[in-house]
Amino acid sequence: MTTLARSNTMAQKTTRIGLIGYGQIGATVHQMIDADPDNGMEVVFIHDLEASRLADLPADLALADLADFAAKEPDLIVEMAHPDVTRQWGTTILEKTNYMFISVTALADAGMEEKLKEVTHKYGTRVFIPHGGVVGMDALLENREVWEEVQVIMKKPPKNVDCERAGIDPDSITGEKVLYDGPTRGICPIFPRNVNTHASIAYAGIGFDRTHSLLVVNPEWDKASVAIHATGPGIELKVERVEGITGVTGASTPASIYNTVQMIGSTGPGIHLR
């Protein structure tokens, strides 16, 4: 009689990752993926509109023309650049593979949201939205039918806010100033690089029109904060995150994005918190 020994390990599939955007966040996420050889993920291409950012990458990793992404056979493409990437490429990407975008302000365009949904149903692909370091995201999502009001209060130094589309000179601000106070859908096109946290909170909770956004700046501040206040019948959520900031990016953002990529794409062994 022949006895077949059962293998103690399961076949591990490597998740092929494509990265769009190689600034502070993109470069850090790339390093984090490569730093763990057991995570079951492999970066197969990196694209950035600024070709100089890719100069030190191996030639087979730098993708000059995003139209060639399908040749790399990615399982997941991660956008870390600008909402315009989703507007221009989101549906094309989803015809071939799964897509995660951190520039969640793109979803403030209701027409864009519907197009993304339609193409995922047609091609069987998936869209992923990272929590982006939002503390309390699970509570917002799990109770989205209960919340009556959700308010997001963001405070930053003006030098760390991209005010170009708002037509404001950050250097002209000498004291505390409210840059926006209104529905979240309205703040997204004005400050598209700064308020992805607002967009994520709105999408997880009660939507872009019912969520209220407040953006306040003060040149005397040296940190950034995001506070969430949500209320409903018999329930209240109050949470705030305060952190250092470089450019328009909070200190926790790269690690948060990597952890979301890992939750989606990691096929490595071990215990995984989802």
pLDDT of residue 256: 85
Mean pLDDT of 227-236: 96
Superfamily of domain 137-250: Dihydrodipicolinate Reductase; domain 2 (3.30.360.10)
Evaluate whether 260 touches 100 at the Cβ level (below 8 Å): yes
Each residue of 113-124: pLDDT tens digit? 999 999 999 999
Q: What confidence category does residue 262 fall into, taking pLDDT thresholds of 50, 70 and 90?
A: confident
Q: What is the average pLDDT score of the chain? A: 90
CA angle 184, 190, 195 (to 5 degrees): 55
Domain ranges for the chain, please list them: 15-132+254-265, 137-250
Answer with the residue of higher pLDDT: 154 or 264. 154
The H-or-E segment that residue 34 falls in is helix 24-35
pLDDT of residue 270: 59
Cβ neighbourhood burial of 179 (10 Å; 0-12, 13-18, 19+):
buried
The CA–CA distances, whole Å, from 22 to 91, 107, 143, 181, 252 equal 21, 22, 35, 32, 17
The C-alpha atoms of residue 38 and residue 36 are separated, in whole angstroms, by 5
Identify the DSSP state of 63.
-
The reply to whether 15-132+254-265 and 137-250 are identical in fold is no
Beta-carbon contacts of 240 under 8 Å, excluding residues fewer than 6 positions away, are 135, 225, 226, 227, 228
Per-residue pLDDT at 45 exceeds 80: yes
Per-residue pLDDT at 7 exceeds 80: no
Each residue of 208-228: pLDDT tens digit? 999 999 999 999 999 999 999
Per-residue pLDDT at 1 exceeds 50: no
pLDDT of residue 137: 86
Each residue of 168-197: pLDDT tens digit? 999 999 999 999 999 999 999 999 999 999
Evaluate whether 64 touches 51 at the Cβ level (below 8 Å): yes
The C-alpha atoms of residue 191 and residue 181 are separated, in whole angstroms, by 12
Evaluate whether 152 touches 211 at the Cβ level (below 8 Å): yes
Architecture per CATH, domain 15-132+254-265, reads as 3-Layer(aba) Sandwich (3.40)
CB atoms within 10 A of CB 274: 4
Which structure tokens are listed for 18? Answer: 């494509």
